Amino acid sequence: MKILAVQNRMGIGDTVIFLPFIKAISKKYNSQVSLLVRENSKAAEFLHQTNYINKILILERDKKLSNKHGGFFGTLNLMKELKKQNFDKIFIFNSSLRFNIIAKLSGIAEIYQYPLFSKTDQHIINTPKKFLKDKLNITEIEDPEIHIDDETISKSVEKFNIDRNKINILLGIGGSGPTKRVPSKIFIDFMEKISKIKKCKFYLATGKNSDEQIILNEILQSKFKDTCLPLDDLSIREILPIIKNCNLSICNDSSFSHLSAALGTKTITLMVDTPIIYGNYNSKMFPVIPDGEETVKHHTSGKDRINPQKIFDKALEILN
């Protein structure tokens, strides 16, 4: 059986959040599922070994890169490509009439989709849960799960000289926007506290954005330089086994928080300017919110109010 799932939200985080629903479909039909996702989901970088995923198909609708599937002729292109795949079923995690028409003209016999023209108030978790319950009577949804094989994990230990006698901690210091990036001094304060009682190695995960690089360099210029390994020159595929070898991750609301938790590494999520659901939907996530707040939402602007003592206390709770 050939099954396609369409998840056209942008970014790594949203793709990871939808993995439990893809896995549930796979279990229901005892068949791998192919994904149609945007290029910036980077899905091929982190799902290449995940056993419930078959193919990754890229939806090219970015005018800056490729608009192969945009507009009328793009619709025809996508329809032709899907028709060649001979899918038996399609699950469309959106309310787009365009995708419904494409699925029908591609000759896919069974089409399952969110209610058409109902884009408003679609909850990132509850809407797909209801979708699978209504369509397939699936009621049990597991945590997101990304697979990495043992050989890849072992090779990473050798390549990056990972000492399993130390506490290996991923610090996800990057973030998709300036309001989500906790200042370096808060990470350094935590590093000071944890290093007094445990031998640690810190892996610094961030992108090449200039503001993120400032945070990275501030940490590398601290007294913890020799216990840090920056990961900004590595691909996501190379970073995944490093995360898998970590005892703990501490991440801003970023792609690394989602990837880390989906790999099964317990992850402290520093939630400062995004709805809390993005930092607690996985049982491996342990959110820390700004001092003075009872929850977090857009425009909370709490990056300077994350308490390193709270991070430290939560880290000890997890490690012990």
pLDDT tens across the length of the chain (320 residues): 999 999 999 899 999 999 999 999 999 999 999 999 999 999 999 999 999 999 999 998 776 657 788 888 888 989 999 999 999 999 999 999 999 999 999 999 999 999 997 877 789 999 999 999 999 999 999 999 999 999 999 999 999 999 999 999 999 999 888 999 999 999 999 999 999 999 999 999 999 999 999 999 999 999 999 999 999 999 999 999 999 999 999 999 999 999 999 999 999 999 999 999 999 999 999 999 999 999 999 989 999 999 999 999 999 999 98
Closest C-alpha among 249, 231, 266 to residue 160: 231
Residue (of 180, 155, 182, 143) closest to 265 by Cα position: 143
What single DSSP character describes residue 197?
A: T
| Token pair of 255 as six digits | 């792609």
Q: Determine contact, residues 33/121, Cβ cutoff 8 Å.
A: no
Where do the H-state alpha helices sit in 96-225? 97-105, 126-136, 150-159, 184-195, 210-220
Instruction: Check residue 63 and give its pLDDT.
Output: 62
Determine contact, residues 265/259, Cβ cutoff 8 Å. Answer: no
Residues 215, 223 contacting (CB under 8 angstroms): no
- SS3 at position 269: strand
